[in-house]
Amino acid sequence: MNGQELFIARFLKWGVLISGLLMFVGLLKSIQISGNPFFNFQTYDQIPLSELITYYTKIQDWGTLCSYVGLGLLVLLPFIRVIITIFIFLKNKEYALSGIALTVLIGLIFGLYLGFQSY
């Protein structure tokens, strides 16, 4: 399994690099040098992601949108890592472990569903 494990390591490394680069570009484009960018976050105001994306698209804030793509990719990395694990176990005919990994994936997808429910 060693070669397959190294594939997971390489996948995670590249995933972090790409998402980090997207967030870096986004931060450079939209960074606020003066003022307090955290002032609006001192009280909690729940605005669903879809509304935020619509708003930033409307005002053409490509920096923030680029950061959101990087963020989304980073959140998805563990999901893809679990999917790769399922296939590795299947390939090695370790069906019990691939079933366990599939259950973990279902749990992760259920987490996303809970996020959608807040809409």
Partner 1 sequence: MYSFILFFISIFAGFLGSLLGLGGGIIIVPALTLLFKVDIRYAVAASLISIIATSSTGAGNFIKEKLTNIRVAVLLELGTVAGALTGYFISSEINAKWLYLLFGFFLIFSALMMIRRRGDQLLSHPHPWSLKLGLSGTYSDGKKEPTPYHVAHVPLGLFSMYFAGILSALLGIGSGIFKVMAMDSAMKLPIKVSTATSNFMIGVTAAASAGAYFLRGDMRPEITSPVALGIFLGSWVGGRMMTKIQTSVLRRLFVVILLVVSFQMILKGLRL
Q: How far is the CB of 91 from partner 1 (least distance, A)?
A: 14
Place of tokens 């989304």: 72
Pick from 18, 58, 59, 114 the residue near partner 1 by CB under 8 A. 114
Outline where DSSP puts E strands in 38-83: none
Cα 100–Cα 102–Cα 108 angle in degrees, nearest 5: 110
Out of 54, 57, 58, 71, the residue judged to bind partner 1 by CB under 8 A:
71
| Residue 20 sits in the site that holds partner 1 (CB under 8 A) | yes
| From candidates 62, 64, 83, 90, binder to partner 1 by CB under 8 A | 64
Rule CB under 8 A: is residue 96 a binding residue for partner 1?
A: yes
Tell me the CA distances in angstroms from 34 to 12, 31, 37, 38, 41, one per residue in order. Answer: 35, 9, 8, 12, 16
Decide if residue 36 touches partner 1 (CB under 8 A). Answer: yes
